Chain A
Amino acid sequence: MSGLLKQIEKEAKGIRDKILKRQKPSMRFPLRNLSNVKFDPKAGFFEMGRKTKERTLAVSTVKTFAQSLKMIALSKNLIETDDIATKREAYYVAKGWSDEIRFGEQTESDTVLDDVEALFRVNREQLGFVPEEKGGEVAGRLTVFDEDRDSGEELAIDCTRFGSGAYSIPISVEHLRFESDAKFVLAIETAGMFQRLVKHSYWRTANCILVSMGGVPTRATRRFIRRLSDELDVPVYAFVDCDPYGICNIYRTLKVGSGNAAHINEFFCVPKAHFLGVTPDDIEQYGLPTHKMTDVDIKRIDDALKNDPFVQHYKKWQEALLKLKKAGYRAEQQAFAVHDLNHVIDTYLPAKLENAKAFLP
């Protein structure tokens, strides 16, 4: 029996014994938000703090308590039968439960799942739950070694040979092996920019690996880039929009992980990543067209300055965010097209890469 199965059984028996002793059982979950992470630059990622929330069985918690236990039972079943369920499938499994215990929206079942994952301090994939979301895409100077599910034969996937397409990062990346002579990894926010760079074979010109994150990178994407960074020993540069979301959500999560899944951050982040652009200075220097920041944007900046341990650790980030807030505008990475469609390839990226030391941390 695996360690995890033993852990699950131990938890359930603990609850059962408490009940039989007529004591109120409780489950103790680590608190999953930014207030319960600390940033140690030496470790390079958000570490989960000691704060926990206790869900004691009472009138107000009885429903979630029952739902959590049922989810744990489902997970135990998945592990034992070596099966998987996506979060959405888990939601539909719960739909088959009786009326009173059913979830309303999927967000409710997701929250319970995340709680269970944090309770056992494991990656949800280990519990048999897999994400619905698709991982990122990869193109460039990289060969990925996967295996054929049926024959077990090793498959070498050359990421330079996808033409105008790209290699899709699978949901689980632990078994992959890499070979590459690239000098760096460029993690790109939008699929549009990724398309442009692939179309013009930028990876060949710059001798790099291009990864499209498509917004906040999924766990698989983060883990994939992390392994590239560790195993190929190449720098990772992030190229995102110059706005609070690009900086505080996409880049921050890529580099140090999230507050929500802090128990797995250690493996699902890229501490060696650096911020190539677009920086607030770039907007001025390249005369980029801007958009006015919304109230939500400004709130995000204030929130990051006040609560985000990562931002609080880096004076440079505080200055950059304050500058952005003062200017009151934001710019997208595709805004370079104002000069020329390929201005970003011909001018911007080469100029930035010449001085990689100046990248924001």
Chain B
Amino acid sequence: MSEKTAQMDLLSTAGPGKTPDSGNGRTAKKRSGSSGRATAQSMASRQRDISISEFFSRNRHLLGFDNPRRALLTGIKEAVDNSLDACEEAGILPEIEVAIESVGSDRYLMRVRDNGPGIVKAQIPNIFGKLLYGSKFHRLKMSRGQQGIGISAASMYGQLTTGKPTRILSRTSSRRPAHMYEIQINTTKNKPEIVREEDVPDWEHAQGTQVEIEMEARYLRGRQSVDEYLRQTALANPHLHLIYSSPDGRREEYECSADELPPEPKEVKPHPHGIELGVLMKMLHATPHRTLQGFLTQEFSRVSVRMAKEICEKADLRANSRPKSIAREESDRLFKAINQTKLMKPPTDCIVPIGEELLLASLRQSVDAAFYTSTTRPPAVYRGNPFQVEVALAYGGDVDPDGTISLMRFANRVPLLYQQSACAITRSTIDVDWRNYRVSQSNGSMPTGPLVVIVHVASVWVPFTSESKEAVAHYPEIMKEIRLAVQECGRRVGEQINRQRRAAEAERKKSYVSQYIGHIAEALQEITGDSDKKKQQVEETLQSMLERSRS
């Protein structure tokens, strides 16, 4: 859906596409006899633009606001994701404070504050008050946010359910005052409306951004709760220092276990094989390059001059033709030619995994188990987009041995708490034959046992099944990498389980054997008439002999 939305948006600029008139025109002709029905003219009078904000205010489930419990989680999640992205991009070790206060029945105030770079005053209203406004959609770089919907959707949800504006405080430097804004969204025009604005010179924080949204919500603990989201976020972001105050008055602090930021992911140009026709057309229109060859070599990765010429030849286009003038027919040919040309795989150094060591350390902090292992796969590519998979396992110890294993899913370090069964990570984990690793599993379902499995998919563009970004789409390349990583960790767990079983078996044998040793010594003494001392000697020798024997 994310890409489709983007495409629709982009296509409208390019002009073509199915207009509503053509379809309705045909319908009108067919029914020309019937009177009292709508005519093309009367219908046309009713047709107008649909604001994207209006669309989402009616389809809020698409964004993760379908029930009060999930709305609270989504709101927190969007704010925390933004804070983390901003801090990392600015090279600041993130320190984030999350607070939820109950302000009436089914009403909560959420507050998220970071120590990030802050937001320039002029940008604040758009970022929090306009949907599909953002810096991350038009680039290919590994980040949590993608399309510029999240936090503004949370503002809108708050506004729709409580009528209260979103309150933002941001400061870019200790030498400047902080700015406070109260913003509402004009849902018809998809524009921010400033309710109140003032400078706050004495804000106690030197730098950072704080957002407060009041919304209709429900606070519950458990598997799909804010608490769990924050716990998992801390786990996948070892460099994060997180302080959380819950509505029931608890205060939890997650200290950072890594004191360095992960290396900054590189921004990459798109790989031609991952591009869709509509996007290609939009890029042809927007490019500053004046020849097709220049466009191909400069706007994409892995297209050399030789390759660009080959593509032009296949598309029957001149290498020096103007990109803007390439009409629809020709862009179609160009698109086909690109996909028929063999190109080098995209660069993969743009992915920054958590790393086996850090992931392991994080897991140790969060789960008390007897055995831990982790693996990071080499980067791979799906549809022109580089991605990388990491897996960590914890086994035994205090992990609940009954019921199914607990699977934690992450995409670009963001925990995925909903839609587990629709996710490629879940499917791939089930597809692994766990019985090979001495973990019980009935056909086609999650294995059972004292096991915690963490799967992290990192990519410049994680393919989600919906806007709410809760499930990874089933691309075969991604599923294969997940499976391989899980299998690798699974094998190690299997070896560990085998070792434990052998040790237990040896212990069992030892105690089994020792209960007969006395009888043997006693019977021998009875027959031979030996002294008690000799009997004792026989008993002790036997004990030490059989303890050492393995058979």
Answer whether A62 and B527 are a contact pair too, CB < 8 Å, given A16-B538, A24-B545: no
Decide yes or no whether A63 CB sits under 8 A from chain B: yes
A interface size (C-beta, 8 A): 29
- Cβ of B431 < 8 Å from any Cβ of A? no
Please tell me if the beta carbons of B551 and A8 are within 8 angstroms of each other in the complex.
Answer: no
Is B520 among interface residues, defined by CB-CB distance under 8 A?
A: yes
Pair A60/B528 contact, Cβ less than 8 Å: no
Assembly CA distance A59 to B515 (angstroms) = 11
Shortest Cβ distance from B541 into A: residue: A19
Cβ of A156 within 8 Å of any chain B Cβ, yes or no, is no
Q: Are B524 and A59 in contact (CB under 8 A)?
A: no
One of B519, B538, B546 near A20 (C-beta < 8 A): B538
Q: Is B551 in contact with A12, judged by CB distance below 8 angstroms?
A: no
- What mask results when residues 499 to 538 of chain B are scored 1 for a CB within 8 Å of chain A, else 0? 0000000000100110111011001101110100010011
A77 CA / B527 CA spacing, docked (Å): 9
- Interface of chain A residues 1 through 21 with chain B (CB within 8 A): 8-9, 11-13, 15-16, 19-20
B99 interface hit (Cβ, 8 Å): no
A69 touching B524, Cβ below 8 Å? yes
Complex Cα gap A98–B549 (Å): 25
**A19 and B538 within 8 A (CB):** yes
**B509 (CB) vs chain A CBs: closest residue:** A59
Chain B interface residue count, Cβ-Cβ cutoff 8 angstroms: 23
**Closest beta carbon of chain A to B125's beta carbon, Å:** 79
Do the beta carbons of B516 and A62 come within 8 Å of each other?
Answer: yes
The answer for the CA separation of A16 and B524 in the assembled complex, in Å, is: 7
Task: Tell me if A19 and B523 are in contact (CB < 8 A).
Answer: no
Q: Is the CB of B526 within 8 A of A73?
A: yes
Q: Which chain B positions have C-beta within 8 A of A9?
A: 527-528
Given A58-B549, A60-B551, do A70 and B519 touch, yes or no (CB 8 Å)?
yes
A20-B538, A69-B520 known; A100 vs B526 contact (CB < 8 Å): no
Within 185-213 of A, Cβ neighbours of B (below 8 Å) are at none
B542 lies within 8 A of chain A by Cβ = yes
Q: Are B545 and A19 in contact (CB under 8 A)?
A: yes
Tell me the minimal C-beta distance from B447 to chain A in angstroms: 33
A59 adjacent to B538 (CB under 8 Å): no
How far is A20 from B551 in the complex, measured between Cα atoms in Å? Answer: 20
Question: Smallest Cβ distance from A24 to chain B, in angstroms?
Answer: 7
Which chain B positions have C-beta within 8 A of A38?
none
Interface pair A59/B519, CB less than 8 Å apart: no
Chain A 246-304 interface residues, beta-carbon cutoff 8 Å to B: none
Residues of A with C-beta under 8 A to B517: 62
Given contacts A22-B545, A59-B551, A100-B515, contact A8 B527 (CB under 8 A): yes
Residues of B within 8 A of A59 (CB): 509, 512-513, 546, 549, 551
User: Which residues in A have their C-beta under 8 angstroms from that of B541?
Assistant: 19-20, 22
Measured in the bound complex, the distance between the Cα atoms of B528 and A87 in whole Å is: 24
Q: Which of B509, B526, B537, B549 has the most CB of A within 10 A?
A: B526
A72's nearest neighbour on chain B, judged by CB, is B527
Determine if B520 and A65 form an interchain contact, defined as CB atoms under 8 angstroms apart: yes
- What does the 1/0 interface line of A34-64 toward B look like (CB < 8 Å)? 0000000000000000000000011110110
| A101, B516: Cβ atoms closer than 8 Å | yes
Q: For the complex, give the distance between the alpha carbons of A12 and B546 in Å.
A: 19
Least Cβ–Cβ distance between B551 and chain A, in angstroms: 5
- State whether the Cβ of A121 lies closer than 8 Å to any Cβ in chain B: no
Q: Indicate if A352 sits at the interface (CB-CB under 8 A).
A: no
A62 CA / B541 CA spacing, docked (Å):
15
Shortest C-beta distance, B515 to chain A (Å), equals: 5
Give the complex CA separation of A12 and B524 in angstroms.
6
With a cutoff of 8 Å between Cβ atoms, the chain A residues found around residue B542 in the complex are 19, 57
Contact status A16-B519, CB under 8 Å:
no
Out of A20, A63, A77, which one reaches B537, CB within 8 Å? A20
Nearest-neighbor residue (CB-CB) of A101 within chain B: B519
Which B residues touch A22, using CB under 8 A? 541, 545
The answer to whether A76 has its CB under 8 Å from any CB of chain B is yes
Which residue among A9, A59, A63, A100 has the maximum number of chain B CB atoms within 10 Å of its CB?
Answer: A59
Tell whether, in the assembled complex, residue A62 and residue B545 are in contact, meaning their CB atoms are under 8 Å apart: no
Q: How far is the CB of B531 from chain A (nearest CB, A)?
A: 12
The answer, yes or no, to whether A337 is at the interface (CB within 8 Å) is no
| Chain B binding surface, main DSSP class | helix
Say yes or no for A356: interface residue by CB 8 A criterion. no
**For the complex, is A351 an interface residue (Cβ under 8 Å from B)?**
no
If the complex has contacts A72-B523, A101-B519, are A62 and B546 also in contact, measured as CB distance less than 8 A? yes
User: Would you call A58 and B551 a contact (CB within 8 A)?
Assistant: yes
Across-interface contacts of B528 in A (CB, < 8 A)? 9, 12-13, 16
Asked if A69 contacts B523 (CB within 8 A), the reply is: yes
A93-B524 Cα distance, complex, nearest whole Å:
18
Q: Chain A, 80-103, contact with B by CB distance < 8 Å: what is the 0/1 string? A: 000000000000000001101100
What is the CA–CA distance of A335 and B140 in the complex, to the nearest angstrom? 99
Q: Is A66 an interface residue (CB 8 A)?
A: yes
> Given the complex of chains A and B, what is the CA–CA distance between A98 and B523 in angstroms?
13
CA distance A22 to B549 in the complex (A): 12
B477 → A minimal CB distance (Å) = 51
A9 CB to nearest chain B CB (Å):
6
Which residues of A lie under 8 Å from residue B538 when comparing CB positions? 16, 19-20
CA distance A19 to B132 in the complex (A): 85
Nearest CB of chain B from residue A119's CB, rounded to whole Å:
13
Question: In the assembled complex, which residues on chain A have CB atoms less than 8 Å from the CB atom of B546?
Answer: 57-59, 62
Contacts of A16 in B (CB 8 A): 524, 528, 530, 534, 538
Q: How far is the CB of A125 from chain B (nearest CB, A)?
A: 20
Contact A76 B512 (CB under 8 A): no
Contacting residue for B526 out of A15, A60, A76, CB 8 A: A76
Centre residue among B516, B541, B542, B545 by max chain A CB count within 10 A: B516
| Best-buried of A22, A69, A72 by chain B (most CB within 10 Å) | A69
A70 to B: closest C-beta gap in Å: 5
Chain B 300-337 interface 0/1 with A at a Cβ cutoff of 8 Å (1 = within): 00000000000000000000000000000000000000
B residues less than 8 Å from A15 (CB atoms): 524
Query: Smallest Cβ distance from A90 to chain B, in angstroms?
Result: 14
Residues on B with beta carbons closer than 8 Å to the beta carbon of A76:
526-527
- Which chain B residue lies CB-closest to A58? B551
Contacts of B523 in A (CB 8 A): 12, 66, 69-70, 72-73
B549 & A66 in contact (Cβ 8 Å cutoff): no
CA distance A22 to B548 in the complex (A): 12
> Contacts A16-B538, A101-B519 given: A62-B524 contact, CB under 8 Å?
no
Smallest CB separation, A23 vs chain B (Å): 9
Chain A nearest CB, measured from B411 CB (Å): 52
Q: B527 contacts which chain A residues (CB < 8 A)?
A: 8-9, 11-12, 69, 72-73, 76
Closest beta carbon of chain B to A108's beta carbon, Å: 15
Residues of chain B within 8 A (CB-CB) of A97 are 519
CA distance A19 to B549 in the complex (A): 14
* Pairwise interchain contact B545-A66, C-beta atoms closer than 8 A: no
- A72 / chain B contacts, CB cutoff of 8 Å: 523, 527
Please tell me if the beta carbons of A66 and B530 are within 8 angstroms of each other in the complex: no
Q: How far is the CB of B495 from chain A (nearest CB, A)?
A: 24
A12 and chain B: residue at smallest CB distance:
B527
In the bound complex, CA of A45 to CA of B250 (Å): 92
B511 → chain A, closest Cβ, in Å?
11
B537–A62 contact, CB under 8 A?
no
A98 proximity list for chain B (CB < 8 A): 519
**Complex Cα spacing A72 to B545, Å:** 23
The interface residues of chain B lying within 8 Å CB-to-CB of A73 are 523, 526-527
Contacts of A57 in B (CB 8 A): 520, 542, 546
Instruction: Give me 8 A-to-B residue pairs in the complex whose CB atoms sit less than 8 angstroms apart, sorted by A's number.
Output: A9-B527, A15-B524, A57-B520, A59-B546, A59-B551, A66-B519, A69-B520, A70-B519
Which 4 residue pairs of A and B lie closest in terms of their CB atoms, listed nearest first? A69-B523, A12-B527, A66-B519, A73-B526
Residues of B within 8 A of A (CB): 509, 512-513, 515-517, 519-520, 523-524, 526-528, 530, 534, 537-538, 541-542, 545-546, 549, 551
Other than the known A22-B541, A22-B545, A66-B523, what 14 A-B pairs have Cβ atoms closer than 8 Å? A11-B527, A16-B524, A20-B538, A24-B545, A24-B549, A58-B549, A59-B509, A60-B551, A62-B516, A62-B517, A65-B516, A66-B520, A73-B526, A101-B516
